[in-house]
Every structure is written in C-alpha cells, then in structure tokens.
Amino acid sequence: MLDYRSFLNSKYTSNVRTNILFTLREFLKYSSEIGQAPHVSSYSDAFILFFRYCDEVAHIRQDKLTFKKINKHLVEGFCEWLEAENGCSVSTRNQRLAALHALFRYIQTESPEHISLCRDILSIRMKKTQKIPPKFLPIEAIKMLLATPDMHSKEGRRDLAVLTLLYDTAARVQELIDLCVGDVSLAVHSTVKLTGKGNKVRLVPILPETANIIRLCMKENQLNKPQCAELPLLTNKSHCKLTRVGITYILNKYVSKARKTAPELFPEPISPHILRHSKATHLLMGDVNLIYIRDLLGHVSVVTTEIYAKTNPEFMRKAIEKVAANTSPKNNYTEEEKQELIDFLKRYRI
C-alpha cells in the first residue's frame, strides 16, 4: 500500500503542475502562513483519505491525479465512502468535505482556469446533522478537578495552571499551547491574550486565583523577566511547549483520580474542550449575557454561541422557573389556616 503522507511530502509532487498534489502543497503552505496552522493537520488527514479513496476505489493513483480526473461525482463518491466503508460519522464526513472546499476555494483564486470544476465541488452540500448538546462538567466536578493536583510539587503546580487556564479562559487547546509569557498581564486586573482562529486576538480577564498560580509557575521557572516574553508559558520537562496530547494526558490523569471519588460527575470520555464548554455553560446559567460569552469564546457570530442556550435543558428549566415565579399564584395561607384546612379534610375523609 502506498504511504500517502510520504507521497504528499515527496519532492516529486512539487514538479508536476498539472497534478493536484502540487497545488495541494502550495495550499497547505499558504494556510500555515495566514495563521491557519491548527487546521493544516486536519486538512492533511482529509486529503490523505481522499487520495486513498482515489487509489483503492476509483483506481486513480496519486501521481496520475490531474484536475481533468477530478469531478463532482468523484468527490460525492468519496463522501459516501467515508460513511459507508470508513465508518465516519456525518460530522466527520462534513469536516473532510470542508477541507476539500477550502482547497478548491484556494484553487479558484490561484488558478481561474479551473473555476468551473471549483464551483462544482463547492456546490456539494454538507449533510445536516442533529445538534448534540455540548457536554459539560457541573461546577462541583470543576471544583473537585482543580483541587486534585498536588500543589507541593512543581509538576502539580504546572498541571493546575494548565487546568485552571483551560477553564477560566475557556481557551481552545491550541490557544493554550501557543500562549507565551508576554501574553499574560498580571496587573491589578489580570488578563491573558489569546490568539484564536485566523490569528484573531482577544483579551480575556482571569481570576486572582488563576493569576497567582501563573505568577508562581513563572517565578519558579525564571520566566518573570522581560527577555522571556516570547517563551512558551507552559512547558514539559524538556522545556518545550506542551502538545495537544500532553494537555489531554494531564487532564485525564486528574479526571481519573477525581472519578474514583465521584464517578457520576465525570462522564466518559473527556477531552480538554469540555472545560471550554463547561465555562460557557456555567456563565450562561449564571445569567451572563450571551454577547459576553461570545466574546470570551472568540466566536465570530453569536449564532454559534446560541447552541449553549438552545440545547441546554438546565438553562431552559431555569428560564421556566423564573417566569413561573412571577406568574404562579402565591400561597398566602398562615400556619393556622393550613392546619384548619387539614383538619377539615380529615373530617370528611372516607
């Protein structure tokens, strides 16, 4: 079987302009340059699956995959294959199609001669999916989780900083990984500067407790110096920035410990993103305006943020109870009147 990832990175593809692989390499390079590096890995996975489909199902080898051999029917067949043969969910199918859409949007700009093909590919619609409520941890679980790391060890303090920042700032994992010392302001009103999708920057306030643990970690790692501004804030034992896998490991390590005490508070499985969902949900249940939550999460539109309100039964229950409190008739009976009513009913009991 062909090693698709190696083939994608081979020198051969860079010299064949009629082959889509040349354009693909240029697209991935362009995506990294414009600040979409977090998407490049996902894009690559999608394209590798597409090449595998072309090779094994459509019988078109990667070195023969020219623009003339790509059409709407081929891409639609790929999408069907993802679900039927590769076991992908509708959500994953849409994600893979989105990667192809991104590629062909780039192609129609860089190579107008292929605009007809690009329009055909871009006309393939995403499948509708049932919106599943974002999983979140109750506040009791968050308290227990943040109380688990050992504050007497350097590693425990680092881990607490990771967990606290993930929850307090509702940061995406990549945003936390990219956090530098200079992005943190530990003034009276401490803030963290997060760089999100499309290199969009937002300032997020953090609690004094969060600021204290960051201050402690910076001090013991000798990062509280002006020349350290560009260094990563959170590192591993080799003093390299943490990875997505590393952060997931840290979270699951403490979730496993906390789950032994209260298994009902920690569903399976748990990923770092659940802390982002949890923060948004807790703010919403605390009656924080949806606009502020949108800004905290770094969403472009409040419509994206509305999923927390639309799919959260607890939020709906609170809203109903709030209305009911203002409309339901009040019980104005005194204790004496209540007792008289009970005695009256007892006399006529059958």
With 0-12 / 13-18 / 19 or more C-beta atoms within 10 angstroms meaning exposed / middle / buried, residue 260 is: exposed
Beta carbons of 235 and 241 less than 8 angstroms apart: yes
106 in active site: no
Both tokens of residue 21?
């692989």
- Tokens matching residue 307: 């999923």
- DSSP-derived letter for residue 202 is E
Active site residue 239: no
Q: Closest Cα partner for 292 from 308, 277, 276, 305? A: 305
Q: Residue 84 burial by CB count (10 A; 0-12/13-18/19+): exposed, middle or buried?
A: exposed
Q: How many CB atoms lie within 10 A of CB 112?
A: 10
Q: Which residues have C-beta within 8 Å of that of residue 302, sequence separation ≥ 6?
A: 290, 291, 294
Maximum CA extent, the chain: 99
Catalytic residue flag (residue 172): yes
Catalytic residue among 193, 273, 282, 318: 273
Q: Which residue has the tokens 């943190």?
A: 184
Write the CA distances from 175 to 227, 228, 244, 251, integer angstroms.
Answer: 22, 19, 10, 16
* 125 catalytically annotated: no
Q: Which residue has the tokens 């760089």?
A: 195
Instruction: Report the distance separating Cα 259 and Cα 222, nearest Å.
Output: 34
Closest CA to 65 of 50, 83, 45: 50
Is 299 among the catalytic positions?
yes
Catalytic pick among 197, 202, 215, 318: 197
Catalytic residue among 96, 157, 158, 276, which?
Answer: 276
Catalytic positions are 172, 197, 273, 276, 299, 308
